[in-house]
Amino acid sequence: MTLSRSSDPPSRPSRGDDAYAAIKEAIRDGTFAPGYQASAQEIALRLGVSRTPVHEALLKLQEEGLVRIVPKRGIVICALAPDDVREIYDVMIAIEGRAAELAAGLSEERRAAVADALAAATDRMEAALAAGDMRAWGVADEDFHRGLVEACGNGRIDRIARTVADQMHRARMLTLNLRGNLTASTAEHRAIAAAIRGGDGAAADRAARAHRQRTQGELLPLLAAWGLKHL
What per-residue confidence (pLDDT) applies to 147? 97
What per-residue confidence (pLDDT) applies to 227? 66
Give the chain's length: 231
* Maximal C-alpha separation, the chain: 70
What per-residue confidence (pLDDT) applies to 193? 99
What per-residue confidence (pLDDT) applies to 11? 54
What per-residue confidence (pLDDT) applies to 181? 78
Q: Which CATH architecture has domain 15-77?
A: Orthogonal Bundle (1.10)
pLDDT digits (tens, 9 = 90+) for 123-169: 999 999 999 998 899 999 999 999 999 999 999 999 999 888 888 88
Extract the residue ranges of the chain whose pLDDT is less than 50.
1-10
What per-residue confidence (pLDDT) applies to 1? 34
- Strands across the sheet with 67-70, in order? 37-38, 74-77, 67-70
What per-residue confidence (pLDDT) applies to 105? 98
- Count the alpha carbons within 13 Å of 14 in the hemisphere toward its beta carbon: 9
Residues 180, 172: Cα–Cα separation, whole Å: 13
What per-residue confidence (pLDDT) applies to 16? 82
How is the chain split into domains, by residue range? Answer: 15-77, 82-225
What per-residue confidence (pLDDT) applies to 6? 44
Residues 75, 67: Cα–Cα separation, whole Å: 6
What per-residue confidence (pLDDT) applies to 72? 81
What per-residue confidence (pLDDT) applies to 79? 84
Under 8 Å between Cβ of 140 and 121: yes
Residues 10, 173: Cα–Cα separation, whole Å: 34
What per-residue confidence (pLDDT) applies to 54? 93
What per-residue confidence (pLDDT) applies to 12? 59
Under 8 Å between Cβ of 147 and 214: no
What per-residue confidence (pLDDT) applies to 4? 38
Handedness of CA 185, 155, 61, 14 (dihedral sign): positive
Q: Which CATH number fits domain 82-225: 3.40.50.300, 1.20.120.530, 3.20.20.10, 1.20.1250.10?
A: 1.20.120.530
